[in-house]
Amino acid sequence: MLRGTTRMPIDATNPLLSDRDVDFLLYDVHRADALCALPAFAHHDRGTFDLTVQTLRRLARTLLFPSLRTLDATPPALDADGTVKLHPTMARIFAALADAGVLSATRPLDVGGQQLPSLVSTAANSYLCAANASAAGLAMLTTEAAHLLESFGTPWLRETFMAPLYEGRFTGTMCLTEPHAGSSLGDITTRARPLADGTWRLTGSKIFISGGEHDLTENIVHLVLARIEGAPEGSRGVSLFCVPKRRPEGAAWVDNDVRCAGVLHKIGWRALPSVALNFGEGDDCVAWLVGSPGRGLAQMFQMMNAARIGVGGSAAAVAYVAFRESVLYAQSRPQGRAPGARDAQGPQVPIVAHADVRRMLLRQKAIAEGALSLVLATARQHDLAEHGDDDAVRTRARRLLDLLTPVAKTFPAERGFEANALAVQVHGGYGYTSEYLPELWMRDQKLNSIHEGTTGIQALDLLGRKVVAGGGEALAIWRDELVATSADARAVGVNPAWCDALDAAADAVSALTLELGARGLSGDVDGMLAHATDYLDLFATVCVAWQWLAQAAAAQRRLDDAPGDAFYEGKLLAAQYWFGTELPRIDHLARLCREGEDSFVRLRTDQL
């Protein structure tokens, strides 16, 4: 223990997430048990849901969290033979997650899955992300690689590669980015040429490939975007290929000419290797086409969108665990005396007694618990989009899911970073030392605003595509959801001023979107999109107000039967905070979008 501190720098008393809050969000707010009425989930009940959450909760607390500091301090290393060596604990973690059924939890029974709702799986996985985000990330990538083959692969690809991925014998990656192209996937140059036996030869390089090389499993399955020789330039010419590290030849698995060119040294997520890969240096890299030629980007978006929600869930969890650590520290760290205390020699008080510390804690709570609720709301729409009662329900949910995905990815990452910075601030001088965990979580969090599409890319997607798609159909559905939540909150006695504020915010977003959309239709696309990031900030702020009103309504119901319960009262205070301090920001953001403040638009590089 450091002299002068009252808690060990890493303390097993941190619960990662509040179990009571997770249950409250799952059942009181998002009605997970109601999903059991759908045929796809009829074999489940609250008992199986709770067992799933409890299993991952235990793994997170007993295996992933105790290894967090060790794995962060021992990043992957590239050996002379081209193999990336990971800390042995990563192998134990991945094997434990596979044994627990994490990799196939939401997948159908006929592929060996448990066919769990995404809502429940996302809540359970939040514990893993809070405990060790980079270790949980490898499982997420493997699941989504297998899902891509499940959706678009041939029976042979599913049998040969999908099944071992779900079993945890292989791991999977998504190989999109190239050094010269970055996020501009239409500019990739990795090439595929056909062979007479129906396979393809692949040549090219990819970078920032998470989990792209390691020594954990028998094989690594890369899902690679490449351009077939002679295909048109741009995104229409991009196809998707399955490229294993080792390929089957008869009864053997042989080297497939996939080489690790280097390991990238990241500020966070250090246990999950990020590498540069070269395909076909010896012109012997065999690939199998997945789905239809020229449909690579469209197919890959299944994996990318799932990963975006996964990143949002991880970001919410990393903000949440740092918030819980802040609370523990603030309750146990004595410093100073209460304002107005007359005896300068009197006993010190815990820093939580200081109003500004409570302000920082409540802001973290509002961000972290609001973000987690938003991610769970998005996951529930995924369940309805896949398994809703009829076409109308599924279509409606799909529209709302598309709209919420960039928001659920971005808000937890951007505002989660702010929450993590506040966790450092609460810890004071200890916060910026590596002896305490908040600085580690803040490093991990920063990656989330870049992973799976930067904030700017998500903003352009939201304003340039999602809110105007189908003549604003998704936006109208979203507004209906907010109005319904407001009506429910009024009915149970939630502060009517909050309900009025959410209704007004929904109207303001609709009016602003109509105005910006008209600007784009008139030909002024730059004027429409210049403040897309401000629009995303505005939209997300309203979405989280929606989630806080939903939580307030659920808490009010409970308070009617349990007056004075501190947990539910805390929910109402967090809602009050959001409506009082955050929702009013949207007026300023709307003005920026509407009036088009253009300093950065007119800025030349020689003026920087």
What's the rounded Cα separation, in Å, for the pair 130 and 132? 6
Catalytic, out of 213, 325, 414, 452: 452
Look at residue 479 and tell me if it is in a domain: yes
Asked if residue 543 lies in contact with residue 536, where contact means CB atoms within 8 angstroms, the answer is no
Look at residue 158 and tell me if it is in a domain: no
Look at residue 608 and tell me if it is in a domain: no
Q: What is the DSSP string of 410-436?
A: HHHHHHHHHHHHHHHHHTGGGTTSTTS
Asked if residue 67 lies in contact with residue 135, where contact means CB atoms within 8 angstroms, the answer is yes
Look at residue 505 and tell me if it is in a domain: yes
Mean pLDDT in residue range 113-131: 97
Backbone φ and ψ of 555, nearest 5°: -65, -40
What's the rounded Cα separation, in Å, for the pair 276 and 284? 18
Tell whether the model's pLDDT for residue 365 goes beyond 90: yes
- The residue range of the domain holding 464 is 454-600
Asked if residue 508 lies in contact with residue 479, where contact means CB atoms within 8 angstroms, the answer is no
Mean pLDDT in residue range 238-263: 96
Q: Is 249 a catalytic residue?
A: no
**Spatial CB neighbours of 394, under 8 Å, sequence gap ≥ 6:** 384, 385, 386, 387, 388
The encoded tokens of residue 607 equal 């003026």
Backbone φ and ψ of 449, nearest 5°: -80, -5
What's the rounded Cα separation, in Å, for the pair 429 and 420? 15
What single DSSP character describes residue 597?
-
Look at residue 458 and tell me if it is in a domain: yes
Share of the chain above pLDDT 70, in %: 97
- Give CA angle at 510 (504, 511), nearest 5°: 90
The confidence band for 12, taking pLDDT boundaries of 50, 70 and 90, is low
**Spatial CB neighbours of 183, under 8 Å, sequence gap ≥ 6:** 177, 453, 454, 457
**Partners of residue 264 on adjacent β-strands:** 274
- Which residue carries 């449909």 as its tokens? 295
pLDDT tens string 491-507: 999 999 999 999 999 99
Say what the pLDDT of residue 187 is: 79
**Spatial CB neighbours of 75, under 8 Å, sequence gap ≥ 6:** 263, 265, 266, 270, 271, 273
The confidence band for 329, taking pLDDT boundaries of 50, 70 and 90, is very high
Nearest to 496 by CA among 440, 431, 553: 553
Look at residue 365 and tell me if it is in a domain: no
Asked if residue 548 lies in contact with residue 489, where contact means CB atoms within 8 angstroms, the answer is no
The confidence band for 340, taking pLDDT boundaries of 50, 70 and 90, is confident
- SS in 3 state form for 296-313? HHHHHHHHHHHHHHHHHH
Mean pLDDT in residue range 595-603: 90
What's the rounded Cα separation, in Å, for the pair 505 and 538? 10
The encoded tokens of residue 8 equal 């060990």
Backbone φ and ψ of 224, nearest 5°: -115, 130
The encoded tokens of residue 69 equal 């500091």
Look at residue 193 and tell me if it is in a domain: no
What's the rounded Cα separation, in Å, for the pair 30 and 20? 14
- Cβ neighbours, 10 Å, residue 595: 9
Q: Which 3 state secondary structure label does DSSP give 510?
A: helix
pLDDT tens string 206-225: 999 999 999 999 999 999 99
Say what the pLDDT of residue 236 is: 86
Asked if residue 226 lies in contact with residue 239, where contact means CB atoms within 8 angstroms, the answer is yes
Nearest to 305 by CA among 374, 375, 406: 406
Domain count for the chain: 1
Nearest to 552 by CA among 505, 491, 489, 506: 489
In order of 39, 66, 146, 192, 543, the CA distances from 198 in angstroms are: 39, 48, 22, 12, 48
The confidence band for 348, taking pLDDT boundaries of 50, 70 and 90, is confident
The encoded tokens of residue 278 equal 């070269």
Q: What is the DSSP string of 208-264?
A: EEET-S-SSSSEEEEEEEEEETTPPSSGGGEEEEEEESEEEETTEEEE-SEEEEEEE
The identity of residue 162, as a single letter, is: M
Tell whether the model's pLDDT for residue 436 goes beyond 50: yes
Look at residue 34 and tell me if it is in a domain: no
Q: What is the pTM of this model?
A: 0.95
Q: Which of 185-199, 213-227, 385-399 has the lowest mean pLDDT?
A: 185-199
Say what the pLDDT of residue 188 is: 84
Tell whether the model's pLDDT for residue 569 goes beyond 90: yes
What's the rounded Cα separation, in Å, for the pair 16 and 19? 9
The identity of residue 563, as a single letter, is: P
Asked if residue 319 lies in contact with residue 368, where contact means CB atoms within 8 angstroms, the answer is yes
